[in-house]
Amino acid sequence: MSERILRAGIVQHACQPDAAANLATSLAGIESAAAAGAQLVILPELHNHPYFCRVEDPAQFDLAEPIPGPTTERLAAAARANSIVVVGSLFERRAPGLFHNTAVVLDRDGRLAGRYRKMHIPDDPAFYEKFYFTPGDLGFEPIDTSIGRLGVLVCWDQWYPEAARLMALAGAEVLIYPSAIGWDDRDEPDERARQHGAWQTVQRGHAVANHLPVIASNRVGVEGDGNDRIRFWGASFAVDPQGGLLAEAGDGAETLIVDLPTGRTESLRRMWPFLRDRRIDAYADLTRRYRDG
């Protein structure tokens, strides 16, 4: 079977208090990826701002914006000018008191192809997202674009095999995870290594289990102080449909270019027919929170 290749750019950068400067950095990354021949570019989670979920502060809701809105207009213009599909990540103001952590996809002509509202919302020290975000209500639906069907998820979603599987079952051709993940700055080196290893391994597992390429973007830099200080580890990466590492960024700002073999999914599923052999008649308990006894 023919080998279809999708060239992607993964933009990894730090975020400062100046939203305009952050957006300018993201836009420069889009241009850099397009200049390298990328057809698709992925930005980090909530790339317009420092990670405000480190604390619970009602004033931070002022950062949210509607979709479509100012940032989607700028991303759309960049997509159109560079003829590239853009995956951005925004703090969406849907209505008074109703906000989402939302990924947006702009097609090569600048059209808003679709959005995904983050479904799994964490609430952990320095990651107080439940204070800010209503869980998504759009389901696990791939977004159709001129370059294929994109299974876009967001950060905490990456720990859930159910989310990846449902995107695959709906026809996604690649899984994409804009992220903002890092260490508590007090973590010891061995604990940091375990956390990073788990993060990459679980996403490589999604690639293997669904025979789909996976892309994960992340931010870099140190944000906060004291108990809310986070060191974002970067390490954005992409893997092939068998979980093989194709490219990995370091811990600084960069735009990573990678060729994704999207055409291998069909042949792999013929030889390793995981979808055929699923025992859907025996999975009812997956809809339960836990089996007590």
Active-site entry in 15, 53, 92, 155: 155
Instruction: Report how far apart, in Å, the C-alpha atoms of 206 and of each of 64, 170, 172, 251 are.
Output: 31, 15, 12, 23
130 has catalytic annotation: no
**What is residue 110's DSSP assignment?**
S
Active-site entry in 15, 53, 118, 223: 118
Which long-range contacts (C-beta less than 8 Å, at least 24 apart) are formed by 120-127? 120/156, 120/157, 120/159, 120/160, 120/163, 121/156, 122/156, 125/184, 125/227, 125/228, 126/53, 126/54, 126/184, 126/224, 126/227, 126/228, 126/229, 126/230, 127/53, 127/54
118 has catalytic annotation: yes
141 has catalytic annotation: no
Alpha-carbon distance 220 to 232, whole Å?
5
Active-site entry in 45, 92, 173, 223: 45
Which residues are identified as catalytic?
45, 118, 155
